[in-house]
Amino acid sequence: MAKDIGIDLGTANVLINVKGKGIVLNEPSVVAVDTQTGRVLAVGSEAYKMVGRTPSNIRAIRPLKDGVIADFDMTEQMLSYFIKKLNVKGVMSKPAILICCPTNTTDIERKAIRQAAEKSGGGEVYLEEEPKVAAVGAGLDIFQPYGNMIIDIGGGTSDIAVLSLGDIVISRSLRNAGDKLNANIANYVRQEYGLVIGEHTAEKIKIEIGSVIEGHRDKEMTVRGRDVVSGLPKSIRITSDETVAAMSDTMDAMIAATKEVLSETPPELASDIIDRGIVITGGGALLDGIEALFAQELTIPVMIADTPLDDVAVGSGKLLEHLEQLKKHK
């Protein structure tokens, strides 16, 4: 018999949760293609190693951009590859798939996600909104009549939502998230030092020395890249406080959106949130100083989820247990 699966189809990573087994796959959302023949050469971790390092006839494509499908065929090929790898199909049956998407996805984008999942070998396909699934994965009891607030900062989108009685009461989805922060760092290094760096290097700076509060982290690292003027390799030193400046505009946008959501939250739920605090999840939750920054700006307690990178995938596994209820919402 086919095993039902939950998929966190992220801009940066795809995580798959097989019912009864937990998270069995976690790979980058990248496909490497030979542009001359159209043949897929590698998917996931193998393809990720090729980003920014390929000859002209090979392209490493990220088929999702800002949380939505930018390249339908590549998304389908990527999902097919992962699903085949897991061997979850039954002899006569196909697995039910629960797949997560950002809150502001349009009907056309949802249709594309559903079609990609069906074409890649799924049976019934259910779509759930990411912050709801992340909240379940983070251990929040969203089915009770009180307010919970979650900020899910992924690679392509940041979803901010207030939940009560099993559903989203109010939400915002921003195309400001991990990828945008990497781009902020790359732009800063180019403007301040005349040095061109790749996506991998920018992400490495963010993870290893990055911070969102001045003076919160005191680290520096050597960064190598290409000099804008001479075109030759060059290296510079960059500090944690410089990354605060680089990422400040994007962080300000996230805080402004969170304030908007809070200002539109019904008063009863707002008082619950003041009592219970806000939970931050997703890869962005790992940014140094992020809970302190949000707590300082919002004057509400802020906590980081225990397993921020896995929450959407874990939540999709928990929701698979309630497929009957999901069928009503489908």
Position 329 pLDDT exceeds 60: no
| Cα-based distances in Å from 123 to 95, 129, 141 | 5, 19, 29
Question: What per-residue confidence (pLDDT) applies to 85?
Answer: 86
Q: Is 205 annotated as a binding residue?
A: yes
Q: What is the pLDDT of residue 325?
A: 60
> What pLDDT, in 10s, does the model give residues 262-318?
999 999 999 999 999 999 999 999 999 999 999 999 999 999 999 999 999 999 999
22 is in an annotated binding site: no
pLDDT digits (tens, 9 = 90+) for 17-59: 998 899 999 999 999 999 889 899 999 999 998 887 878 888 8
Mean pLDDT calculated for residue range 246-267: 97
**Lowest mean pLDDT, pick from 93-97, 155-159, 202-206:** 93-97
206 is in an annotated binding site: yes
274 labelled ligand-binding? no
Q: How confident is the model at residue 327 (pLDDT cuts 50, 70, 90)?
A: low
| 12 is an annotated ligand-binding site residue | yes
Confidence class for position 103, pLDDT limits 50, 70, 90: confident
Q: Is 75 known as a binding-site position?
A: no
Q: Which domains does the chain have, with CATH numbers?
A: 5-130+311-329 (3.30.420.40), 139-305 (3.30.420.40)
Mention every residue, 6+ apart, whose C-beta is less than 8 A from residue 218: 239, 240
**Is 285 annotated as belonging to a binding site?**
yes
- pLDDT for position 90: 64
Is there a binding annotation on residue 286?
yes
Q: Is 57 annotated as a binding residue?
A: no
pLDDT digit string, tens, across residues 264-274: 999 999 999 99
Q: Which residues contact 265 (CB under 8 A, 6 or more apart)?
A: 147, 149, 162, 169, 170, 273
Per-residue confidence (pLDDT) for residue 94, from 0 to 100:
84
Mean pLDDT in residue range 127-156: 94
Per-residue confidence (pLDDT) for residue 101, from 0 to 100: 86
Is 11 within any annotated ligand binding site? yes
164 and 146 Cβ atoms separated by less than 8 Å? yes
